[in-house]
């Protein structure tokens, strides 16, 4: 699951970079924060694998997903806010924002749910990833 998540991050990240002209220093730093958050995933993955979906490791495992998605949301917002309106309509921006917030809420809910039902929490993490399998939102010309 972690490898699939990293692949989804990579695909979505590169899809957004198409809209970036010369990157600003702020955007570069947001990108570094996002990358750092991704680097925390292997430790959480190893712990969850050793304990076979015990509650505490699943709660901890959901944490990097929440932090990574927060960093991604900031990155996506900044990129789409400066993207050419001809290439990304206001409707597409709203749909992308809505999708990103739903995924973030799902990861956060999964973290809380894992306290009492770790397998359901893990399932919710997996389900949330489905929303980002395609970087473009439905109906967009990305």
Give the Cα separation of 2 and 20 in Å (integer): 27
pLDDT reported for residue 74: 93
- Per-residue pLDDT reduced to its tens digit, 15-57: 888 887 788 898 889 989 988 988 888 999 999 999 989 999 9
Find out whether 126 and 1 touch, Cβ atoms under 8 Å.
yes
Structure-block tokens of residue 59: 């709660």
- Per-residue pLDDT reduced to its tens digit, 86-115: 677 888 888 889 999 999 999 999 999 999
Model pTM?
Answer: 0.84
Give the Cα separation of 122 and 113 in Å (integer): 9
């Amino acid at each position: 699951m972690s490898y699939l998540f990293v692949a989804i991050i990579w695909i979505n990240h590169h899809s957004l970079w198409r809209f970036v002209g010369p990157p600003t220093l702020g955007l570069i730093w947001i990108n570094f924060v996002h990358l750092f958050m991704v680097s925390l995933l292997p430790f959480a993955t190893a712990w969850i694998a050793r304990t076979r979906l015990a509650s505490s490791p699943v709660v901890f495992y959901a944490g990097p997903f929440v932090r990574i998605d927060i960093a991604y949301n900031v990155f996506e917002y900044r990129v789409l806010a400066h993207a050419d309106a001809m290439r990304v309509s206001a409707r597409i921006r709203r749909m992308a924002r809505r999708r990103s917030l739903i995924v973030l809420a799902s990861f956060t809910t999964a973290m809380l749910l894992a306290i009492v039902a770790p397998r359901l929490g893990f399932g919710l993490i997996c389900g949330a990833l489905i929303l980002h399998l395609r970087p473009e939102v439905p109906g967009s010309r990305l």
